[in-house]
Amino acid sequence: LILRNNPARAVELAVENWAALQREPRDVRVLLETALAAKNAAAARPALEWMQKTGYEEARFRELDKALRKLPQ
């Protein structure tokens, strides 16, 4: 997740993975967790939009979304 103590790089890779059309729940989790670790809420937006569009729900993802919303904009 943190990719050798570099959360910013980890979130970059997760965003690239998402852009490569990897759209499964585990990809959502990786993107949300890396965005939170990097304190980059904007990076999580595509995964959150996918969840809203598809109606996919998971308790852990809701918790991550809440944590991301608490980050400074």
Specify the DSSP element, H or E, that contains 19: helix 7-19
Under 8 Å between Cβ of 23 and 36: no
Contact of 42 with 29, CB cutoff 8 Å? no
- Predicted pLDDT at 47: 94
**What pLDDT score was predicted for residue 28?**
94
Smallest CA-to-CA distance from 27 within 48, 9, 7 is with 48
The Cα 68–Cα 33 span in angstroms is: 9
pLDDT tens digit sequence for 13-67: 999 989 888 788 999 999 999 999 999 999 999 999 999 999 999 999 999 999 9
Give the predicted TM-score (pTM) of the model.
Answer: 0.84
What does the pLDDT read at residue 2? Answer: 60
| pLDDT value, residue 23 | 84
CA distance 32 to 44: 5
For position 58, what pLDDT does the model report? 94
